[in-house]
Structure formats: C-alpha cells, structure tokens
Amino acid sequence: MLNLTGFQICDVSRGRKPLTLVLCPLLALWCSLYFLSLTATIERDEVTAKEMKVLSDESEYFDYHNTLLDLIARYPWLWRRRYVPNSLAKHVKQERPRSYGANATMVFVHNQKAGGTSVKTCLKLLERESNMRRCYGIFDGNGPVHIMEAVRAKSTSRRCYVGESSFGICDDLDDGDCAYFTMLRDPYERVISSHEYCKTADDPLCRAGNATELSLEEWALQQGSYFFRQLLLRPTEICVEAELFNNLLTQYLNKTDQSDEIVADLKSFPCWYRHKLLLEGVLSDSDKNALLRYVLENLDNWFSVIGMTDEFDTSLELFQFAFGLPFHDLCSAVFARETTYTEQSAGAEGGKAEVVRKLKSRLASNDHVRRALLYDIKIFERAKEIFEMQKTSYRHFAVRS
C-alpha cells in the first residue's frame, strides 16, 4: 500500500519539475524499505514470543521434573514399575490388542461408591463359574497383613487381588507385572453417594466422621480426592507404625503445629484418612500438582483397562475383551439394572435424579469443595478420554472379529 502510494505521487507529479523525477523513485524506494523493515520487526517479535513460550514451557517442565524426582527420592514407591499398559488405548490400528489373560496378575482397584462392589461380585461369579483364579482382598483394614503374606508366600496361585488398597501391589511383590483395572465415577456423584451410604453403613470409608452429622459439603471436604490418594498409597508403610509412617507423622506434627495428643487419634483413624492427613501435612501445593501431572501422564500406562460407572455394561465388555474372561457374558444379565448406574441409583421416576443434579450443582459452586475434589476431577476427565479411546479400539476389532 505504501509502495503503491509512492508511485501514484510520482505519476501525478510526472512532467512538472525535474527534481520530482529524482525524488519520486527515492520516495517509492524508501516506502518499500520501510514496509519490509516493519514486516521483519513484526516477524521477529512473533518468533521471540514463540521462543519465550518454549523457554517458559521448558522451565516449567524442568521444575515439574525436579519436584517429581525429589518426591520419588523421599517416597520411592511412587515410582511405579510393574504394570501392564492399556493396549486398548495404545493399540496400533492394524494390530489386535492382546488379552492380558493368565500372563499378568489381575488387580481390581476398588474406588468405593463407583460400582466397584458389583465388579467384585462379578469376580466371585467368575471364580465359581469359569474356574478363574481366586481373588485376594487388599482392603483398608487388612491391606498390610495380606500384602506381607503374599510377599512371603510368593505363591503363583495368588494372581488376582481386589480392594481399595491394592494399587501398587506388584511393586511390593516384585514378581511379575500387574494388569490393574478400575471403575470410576463423576467425583461429585461419588461424594453424594458415599455421604448417603455412610449414614447407615459400618465401613472404613465411613469411620473418619459421622455422615449423619456432617453436611454434604463438610463430607466432601473430609473425603477429598479419594482416588488420587489411592494411587499414592503404600499400605505396608502408611497403615502400620512403620518407619515412614512415624517420619510422616513427625513432619505432620511439625508443619501443623499440633500437639502429641493428636497422635493417638490419628492412629485410630482408618488407613485412608491417616494417609490423607499425612499427605496434607507434608506435601506442598507444588508437590501435589507435580504428583497430579505424574498421574495424568501415566494413567493409561498404569491401568490396563478403565471402566465408567455410567456405562457399566460397556465396561464389562471392555473387561471381557481385555482379560479374555466372560465378564459381560456372565455378569451383564445379573447387573442389567446398573447399565445406566447413575440413573438407576437416582430413581426411575426422575425425582431423585433431579435431587442429585441439584446437589452436584451445589457442590460444584462451592470453591472449597471444588478445590478439595480438583485432583479427582482432573483424573476423571483424563479417564473419560481413555475410556472413549478404549471403546473406539474395541468396536474396531469387535467388528473385524
């Protein structure tokens, strides 16, 4: 535009003065050079901005990496080594994902109030009807004892474990890899369900507070990001008075300025709640954010297959495809009512569904609750992405079979 304008001036002035014949081309040349210089400056600024973003990203990554290495140096079990990656989510298009079958230790990580009890019932049916290996429980109360028994036994027959404290057991056993699988549910819905459940149940999940006395918001704050902590737990250290537990307890007392009187109360709490308090007492926000990123980056490595509560029947199909065991064939009819688990639990008439919707909205609008559940919310969002990839892969190969 500037170059054109310069030549237009020359055209208008042509023939009037000799000096103009010299100045007009110079003016046009100056306009062209100015335009090129301006363009180069803009491009250089854009490149500089991109370089700065790259440097910022690299710096942020190194900060994350260093924080994670420091955490693993302090708590070595966080470095998960023995697992079978999710071949449904990671498959090469031309290759059928392999069944985990009898080659790996099968471990169901029970995220309570997410349909896991139904999966455990299905596993018992599989034991009885299809000669599947027996599954051993790694629960909140007996986790450390059963893990140590398994370590001592080194029994090849113990190739299936279930329970809320089961994640990471193959790192304890150090004998083969684990094909972990789980069922996940919207964190707000899970909290609502656990609050209602614990008003009448006698369960370690319910023993850190009285659900009949705590409001839904107070209950959500107490439960926090339950599944996130399940992935960081080591029962043989946290659930007994081992060296690590005592070290964490000392750090917790120093950081929170609590008196020794709380020690007796802390030791009386269920394992999951002790773990929660200790983590809150010793980990900074940057520590927890680094661990969250670590979990999100490895979710499809650690879990061989992930199910979703609100797609229960499809989850059984995925379990069957992944393990080569008749999860769906044997259990689908039994749990047909749970195919749309959330709707079923909310009531057929929709009245309770509306109540649940309003309760979810209430929790989501509370800043404190949202922060408390943030880690589980992020994990759930990533798990939904993985679930969709699993379904796409499964349908692709199911059609070709």
pLDDT grade, residue 153 (50/70/90)?
low
List the single range of 49-53, 110-114, 126-130, 224-228 with lowest mean pLDDT: 49-53
pLDDT at residue 294 tops 90: yes
Higher pLDDT, 229 or 4: 229
pLDDT grade, residue 213 (50/70/90)?
very high
Domain 83-400 adopts which CATH fold?
Rossmann fold (3.40.50)
3-class secondary structure per residue, the chain: CHHHHHHHHHHHHCCCCHHHHHHHHHHHHHHHHHHHHHHHHHHHHHHHHHHHHHHHHHHHHHHHHHHHHHHHHHCHHHCCCCECCCHHHHCCCCCCCCCCHHHCEEEEECCCCCCHHHHHHHHHHHHHHCCCCCCEECCCCCHHHHHHHHHHHCCCCCCEEEECCCCCHHHHHCCCCEEEEEEECCHHHHHHHHHHHCCCCCCHHHCCCCCCCCCHHHHHHHHCCHHHHHCCCCHHHHCCCCHHHHHHHHHHHHHHCCCCHHHHHHHHCCHHHHHHHHHHHHCCHHHHHHHHHHHHHHHHHHEEEEEEHHHHHHHHHHHHHHHCCCHHHHHCCCCHHHCCHHHHHHCCCCHHHHHHHHHHHHHHCCHHHHHHCHHHHHHHHHHHHHHHHHHHHHHHHHHHC
Instruction: Kindly report, residue by residue over 299-326, the tens digit of the pLDDT.
Output: 999 999 999 999 999 999 999 999 989 9
Q: What percent of the chain has pLDDT over 70?
A: 65
User: Any idea where the domains of the chain sit in the sequence?
Assistant: 1-13+20-35, 83-400
Mean pLDDT score of the chain:
78
Higher pLDDT, 52 or 104: 104
Instruction: Kindly report, residue by residue over 229-254, the tens digit of the pLDDT.
Output: 999 987 766 676 556 666 766 766 66
List the single range of 23-32, 262-271, 334-343 with lowest mean pLDDT: 334-343
pLDDT at residue 1 tops 70: no
**Overall pTM > 0.85:** no
